[in-house]
């Protein structure tokens, strides 16, 4: 493999990583809002949450991507493939993140809620001082898993002509037929990105670890 090819693949890996990071950022915000719906007092909102998660998790990412890819022009929204790609990924990972957050909220031990109530903690501080920090710690390991999944999911966008690592590899293969070398290099690059995110997540877990956490002693 020559240097220009390698540079091209590295650039493409950078694009993949940026796509994933954009989707993770936007998806986290969207998921926080969705989680609020899941615990809403209004039944239609809870129903909407369940429907959203059911549909998004029950259909392949590629179908969602093609639907949005073909439907956006029909809605007269001329978004480039990158914007469409980030949008698709955001819609997709928001559902996964929301389930992670919901699980985190459900994992909070009952005494925490009860003591907060008995102390008369108002909703704002309850969210900031009690629910937030606990959910952050409970949800972090699965959250990191979804982040790794997001990096892998960016490869699906190659099919809707987003130029990232997988599409770049495919283009180079079609020109040079160097199937094994190009795909191995692409695999190594994905591996490094996924493992990197995993490591950062683990480090964050250790840093956030609290003594007596998980409800044994508080």
Give the residues lining the site for other proteins (CB under 8 A). 54-55, 57-64, 66-67, 70-71, 74, 148, 152-156, 158-159, 166, 169-170, 173, 177, 179-180, 183, 186-187, 190-191, 194-195, 198
Closer residue to other proteins in complex, CB, 40/181:
181
Q: What is the Cα gyration radius of the chain?
A: 21
Cα separation values, 86 from 8, 17, 102, 119, 140, Å: 21, 11, 23, 43, 23
CB of residue 154 to other proteins, shortest distance in Å: 8
Residue 59: how many other CB atoms lie within 10 Å: 12
CB of residue 194 to other proteins, shortest distance in Å: 4
Closer residue to other proteins in complex, CB, 134/148:
148
Closer residue to other proteins in complex, CB, 68/131:
68
CB of residue 74 to other proteins, shortest distance in Å: 6
CB of residue 148 to other proteins, shortest distance in Å: 7
Yes or no: say if 64 and 156 are a contact pair by the CB < 8 Å rule.
Answer: no
CB of residue 192 to other proteins, shortest distance in Å: 9
Closer residue to other proteins in complex, CB, 34/64:
64
Cα separation values, 28 from 2, 101, 146, Å: 39, 9, 11
- Euclidean distance between CA atoms 152 and 185, whole angstroms: 15
Tokens read off for 169: 């590899």
CB of residue 156 to other proteins, shortest distance in Å: 7
Closer residue to other proteins in complex, CB, 29/55:
55
Closer residue to other proteins in complex, CB, 70/128:
70
Closer residue to other proteins in complex, CB, 57/129:
57
CB of residue 131 to other proteins, shortest distance in Å: 28
């Amino acid at each position: 493999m020559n240097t220009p090819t390698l540079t091209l693949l590295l650039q493409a890996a950078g694009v993949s990583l940026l796509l994933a990071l954009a989707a993770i950022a936007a998806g986290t915000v969207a998921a926080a809002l969705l989680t609020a719906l899941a615990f809403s007092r209004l039944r239609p909102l809870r129903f909407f949450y369940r429907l959203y998660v059911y549909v998004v998790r029950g259909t392949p990412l590629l179908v969602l991507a093609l639907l949005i890819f073909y439907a956006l022009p029909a809605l007269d929204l001329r978004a480039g493939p990158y914007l469409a790609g980030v949008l698709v990924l955001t819609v997709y990972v928001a559902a996964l993140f929301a389930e992670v957050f919901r699980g985190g909220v459900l994992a909070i031990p009952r005494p925490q809620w009860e003591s907060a109530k008995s102390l008369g903690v108002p909703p704002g501080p309850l969210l900031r001082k009690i629910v937030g920090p606990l959910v952050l710690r409970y949800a972090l390991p699965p959250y990191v898993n979804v982040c790794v999944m997001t990096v892998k999911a960016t490869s699906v966008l190659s099919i809707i002509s987003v130029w990232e690592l997988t599409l770049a590899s495919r283009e180079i293969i079609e020109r040079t037929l160097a199937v094994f070398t190009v795909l191995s290099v692409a695999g190594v690059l994905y591996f490094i990105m996924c493992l990197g995110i995993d490591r950062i997540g683990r480090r964050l877990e250790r840093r956030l670890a609290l003594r007596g956490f998980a409800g044994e002693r508080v």
